[in-house]
Structure 1
Amino acid sequence: MNVKISALCLFISSFAIAQSAISGWVYEDSNGNSVKEKREKGVANVAVSNGVEVVLTDKNGRYTLPLYGHHTVFVIKPEGYRTKVDANNLTQFYYHHKPKGSPATFKYKGTSPTGKPASDLNFPLYKNDESKDFQILVFGDPQPYNLKEIDYFRRGIINEVKNNRRNAVFGISLGDLVGDDLSLHQPYIKAVKEIGLPWYNVIGNHDMNFDAVEDHLSDETFEENFGPANYAFNYGNVHFMVLDDILYPDPRDGKGYWGGFREDQLKFIENSLKHVPKNKLVVLAFHIQMMPEREGDDHFRLSDRKKLFDLLKPFENVLMMSAHTHKQTQIFYGKGEGWEGASNLHEYNVGTTSGDWYSGTVDSSGVPASVMRDGTYRGYSFIDFKDNKYSIQYKAAGMPEEFQIKLYVPQVIASRRNSARIVANFFMGSKNDVVEFRVDGGDWKPLSYTESLDPSFLQSVMKWDSTNELLQGRRPSNAEESKHIWSAPFPGKLPLGVHKLQVRATDRYGKVHTAEQNFEVKEPNPVP
């Protein structure tokens, strides 16, 4: 039996029981040895799951769950407690029940056979002083394809974050931890360890076992390295749910993948939410965004999305987080998308730490600038929670914290018949935000929201296409429509000389962000 007691923080006694059920204790491990002792009290009303059913411990901290097949048993961390972390800062809250182990034919190793479980499967907890006001770190798609890109990730993101993690109490990566080569999971883990925070991980479509012929087996290497692909935990007044929303192989044709959920996953979500008070904030973390990017895009099974929305409907406060697109978008669902909640449902499609797959020329740290196709600079996010509310701030890697708006402003314009425009890319913006400008301290005037290409990013791509010699690095991807662009014509009758343009954006949380740039007005230079 391959039970990693030190890694899993579990104590399993030596008495075997039948395969039909598993029981154990959730207890307060007062001496920290991960062994349930008689004097150590059980913790009541703690949720424990086998990946489908969810039960609560009794008044003594005892639980019993059905045990069958090939799955993982885990505790759903309650508010005010913590689980242990291993030497790599990975949270330890689970036990793999895989009697026959992962398929031996897989290219990348999964879990070795665990055999029969012992009589008691116990989960230690530790008292933790948790404020209802707290902060977390969020990474989208590190996605290194080789060790060189692991080094880019470490130098471009990890070195910055570990020296300025603000007040974050834990972090989470939203999938595509690596790029298909699952042997890179361990170097990724070693890199994130340096931040020094407990870390949760979501599976992405580039973290799967492509050898799998059934979806439930596509997570085997991920699960061995990180734990279950579907799980939940509580912190403060927030219930977090981490979900695998990738169906592989695609059930429509057996090729590729499709966004969606299996029925057992939806049942887990339903059973977990039964034990969550309706006034809590529910935060869902998954990889593939649920909104089609364009008409005709069927990347996600909409019937599964509707089932999820129906389960979330009773909750007034919900945030969904995804990555995958290598762009950044604020998505809002209403009745037209099948959401029946009291107010629009927010999905934050997070910008990525790898940006545009480590493309472009290098920045001052020697890492490819990798600006994303919508003009968002590569980076990461901080989410602040205050009771059951939240606010988000994006941090562009290698840039000052106040860098939230990228301006595209001609350095010089003609004083007459000028068609140039002011363009502002507000990375965290959405169409309902207010973005304004003024010149030389005058009155603030609105810029108009537009979904268009970012001219600064387009200009950087054209630099590659107009050179006679290949530039160092990799050509960026082609520009794609950005969901956070505002523009306006220059005011008329500006006097000749240098002027100061200021732009301010007020986000959905009421925070004001600013940017400024000078430009010059000159007399036209007509053709003779």
Structure 2
Amino acid sequence: MIKHIISGVCLLGIFSVSAQNLAVGTVFEDSNQNGEMDSGEKGIEKVAVTNGKEVVLTNSKGKYELPLSKDMIISVIKPSGYRVATNTDNLPQFFYIHKPEGSPKLKFPGVKSTGEIPKSVDFALIPSEEKEDFTALIFGDPQPYTQEEVDYFADGIVAEVEGIENVPFGLSLGDLVGNDLDLFNPYIKAVKNVGISWYNLLGNHDINFDVENDTLSDETYEAHFGPANYAFNYGKVHFLVLDDVLYPDPRDGKGYLGGFREDQLQFIENDLKHVPKDHLIVIALHIPLSEPDGRDTFRDEDRDRLFQLLEDFPNTLSLSAHTHIQRQGFFGKEEGWQQDNSHHHYNVGTTSGDWYSGKLDENNVPISTMRDGTPKGYAFINFNGNDYNIDYKVAGKPADYQMEVFAPKVVAKGRRTKAGIYVNFFMGTEDDEVLYRIDEWEWKEMQYIEDYDPSYVEMVYEWDLAEELMPGRRSSNPIRSEHLWRGSIPTKLETGEHDIEIKATDMFGKTHTTRSSYRLAEPLEEVIN
């Protein structure tokens, strides 16, 4: 048996050229992990295989057949209890690209001609123990525009999780690079150092802009990562990874819009037919299903169709990046969700933060705090059966750094003040409980507000007030944070330092604490008199 490598994809079971109208093959248990179906290795039944639109299950001998077109990617939907091989860059090899004529000529090269479809396109699955409680590592928007920014990403994010243990795989939620698709390979080499199997998703800065049809906008992405729409299972979780960038914008042919093509919606529908209803469905996207300030960035009818397809699945979560802030969204029946319990959409904070802006840290990497006051970082999603909880990890900080507190340094004793104690609870939602107390007195509720984070405002305007240029690049102007709380400052206490203690409980029942302080001083005129 001959094994070829085309566009970084291992093609298994190539016997002879066939002019058939069907793609056929076998999904088999690769006991010796050599990538070939050897004597004694058996096919695996009831494994889903897709051409990006239709989804079929293998028969009792592990065989499948799918309609064939001149531009398609066949991929196996990894079942629980198995893993797929990864290449030398830790990219999962679960697909076969079929482009007999190759990609069209573009600024950034796509897939070279793959020739005719092999007689049998086989997929090797390796038995693997998968626990129902596991953790996935999630990156939002690495988005380097230069090699220097690739290095920032590598030094500021990847180095922190290099060699991570007890995390079976990671996923980047799009904008892997910033328009220069020649940076795909440097990005891949950087993420390789995490040391785990790594999935990827296409973002609006990862597309071929010199095309007139959305179906061709992912040609260079496909050459590096495979299909832009795919699925896999782990434990009792079904992951659907989807390209939700419509380019050009179908409304006016300019820019892009969040949404799906009809063939993508058919893929989702066909895929979900084979998923147990009690499993957790995780939809991974780049553009959020909604954005702050009510901006029209996602096609409503596509979101409604997605929600209809999910109406029989009580356990769901959707993920996105794109905005370079962090938000928790909840969709109810007023927003088209079909179930009584709301749908949780987590818009993950980005690894590039505010596009690699801000002061440089001790490693000469931009601190890059985002416009809503969320520091750059990444997420761990902890799964337990069909349940989940999320931890956000701020890059370069201890794991328990979940809040930033802003309070005046000194306040006049006995006088009213409009100053306040502000808490930016990075994973917070409006319904969360955030309490504070002074000097271990009674706990009081803080008021949820949507406002500019004063810690971030101070950070930004330091650039404008500086009399000399500072290393790095000025951060973006602040926007209103959706995870900010305020408490009043007691001034009728003794002069001197007073301790501030904060306790916040998130949507998963996890309690986080932090401390700060302020000082009370006698008013100056009283001292003068």
* TM-score category of the 2 structures, normalised to the smaller one: over 0.9
Please, which runs of 5 or more residues in structure 1 have no aligned partner?
none
On the 8 A contact 1:20/1:67 being kept in 2, the answer is yes
Residue deviations 1:489-527 (CA, integer Å, cap 9, x gap): 113522211111000100111110011012111112249
Instruction: Output the CA distance in 1 between the equivalents of 2:525 and 2:245.
Output: 59
What TM-score results when the alignment is normalised by the length of structure 1? 0.97
1:314 corresponds in structure 2 to 312
Instruction: Output the CA distance in 1 between the equivalents of 2:253 and 2:176.
Output: 24
User: Per the alignment, do residues 45 and 175 of structure 1 end up closer, same or farther by CA in structure 2, a change over 3 Å counting?
Assistant: same
1:265 corresponds in structure 2 to 264
1:414 corresponds in structure 2 to 412
Residue 359 of structure 1: how far off its partner (Å): 0.4
SS of the counterpart of 1:253? Answer: coil
2:389 corresponds in structure 1 to 391
- Which amino acid is 1:61 matched to? G
Residue 2 of structure 1: how far off its partner (Å): 11
| Aligned pairs (5 A) from 1:94-243 | 94-104=95-105, 106-162=106-162, 165-243=164-242
Instruction: Output the CA distance in 1 between the equivalents of 2:308 and 2:430.
Output: 26
Instruction: Output the CA distance in 2 between the equivalents of 1:115 and 1:63.
Output: 21
User: Per the alignment, do residues 11 and 250 of structure 1 end up closer, same or farther by CA in structure 2, a change over 3 Å counting?
Assistant: same
User: Per the alignment, do residues 2 and 181 of structure 1 end up closer, same or farther by CA in structure 2, a change over 3 Å counting?
Assistant: farther
Residue 420 of structure 1: how far off its partner (Å): 1.3
Residue 166 of structure 1: how far off its partner (Å): 4.9
On the 8 A contact 2:172/2:200 being kept in 1, the answer is yes
Instruction: Output the CA distance in 1 between the equivalents of 2:273 and 2:336.
Output: 21
Instruction: Output the CA distance in 2 between the equivalents of 1:424 and 1:6.
Output: 49
Instruction: Output the CA distance in 2 between the equivalents of 1:326 and 1:457.
Output: 14
Residue 12 of structure 1: how far off its partner (Å): 3.1
Q: Does 1:361 align with 2:362?
A: no
SS of the counterpart of 1:199? Answer: strand
Residue deviations 1:108-143 (CA, integer Å, cap 9, x gap): 111001121121110000000000000010000000
2:9 corresponds in structure 1 to 8
Residue 340 of structure 1: how far off its partner (Å): 1.4
Instruction: Output the CA distance in 2 between the equivalents of 1:214 and 1:15.
Output: 33
Instruction: Output the CA distance in 1 between the equivalents of 2:242 and 2:70.
Output: 20
Q: CA RMSD in A?
A: 1.5
Residue 413 of structure 1: how far off its partner (Å): 1.0
| Aligned pairs (5 A) from 1:285-304 | 285-295=284-294, 297-304=295-302
On the 8 A contact 2:3/2:11 being kept in 1, the answer is no
User: 35-44 or 471-480: which moved more?
Assistant: 35-44
Instruction: Output the CA distance in 2 between the equivalents of 1:447 and 1:19.
Output: 67
On the 8 A contact 1:19/1:116 being kept in 2, the answer is no
* Paired residue total: 525
1:328 corresponds in structure 2 to 326
On the 8 A contact 1:26/1:46 being kept in 2, the answer is yes
User: Per the alignment, do residues 6 and 461 of structure 1 end up closer, same or farther by CA in structure 2, a change over 3 Å counting?
Assistant: closer
Residue 6 of structure 1: how far off its partner (Å): 10
Residue 38 of structure 1: how far off its partner (Å): 3.3
Residue 470 of structure 1: how far off its partner (Å): 2.0
Instruction: Output the CA distance in 1 between the equivalents of 2:286 and 2:4.
Output: 29
Instruction: Output the CA distance in 2 between the equivalents of 1:88 and 1:265.
Output: 28
Please, which runs of 5 or more residues in structure 2 have no aligned partner?
none
User: 3-12 or 109-118: which moved more?
Assistant: 3-12
Identity %: 53
Residue 10 of structure 1: how far off its partner (Å): 3.2
Instruction: Output the CA distance in 1 between the equivalents of 2:314 and 2:494.
Output: 53
Residue deviations 1:150-197 (CA, integer Å, cap 9, x gap): 11001100111115x352110000000000000000000000000100
- Which amino acid is 1:137 matched to? L
Instruction: Output the CA distance in 1 between the equivalents of 2:333 and 2:304.
Output: 11
Residue 418 of structure 1: how far off its partner (Å): 2.1
Instruction: Output the CA distance in 2 between the equivalents of 1:38 and 1:342.
Output: 52
- Which amino acid is 1:255 matched to? K
Instruction: Output the CA distance in 2 between the equivalents of 1:336 and 1:495.
Output: 51
Residue deviations 1:399-456 (CA, integer Å, cap 9, x gap): 1111000000111111112221010000000101100000111111000111110001
On the 8 A contact 1:19/1:68 being kept in 2, the answer is no
Residue 86 of structure 1: how far off its partner (Å): 0.3
What TM-score results when the alignment is normalised by the length of structure 2? 0.97
- Which amino acid is 1:65 matched to? L
1:83 corresponds in structure 2 to 84
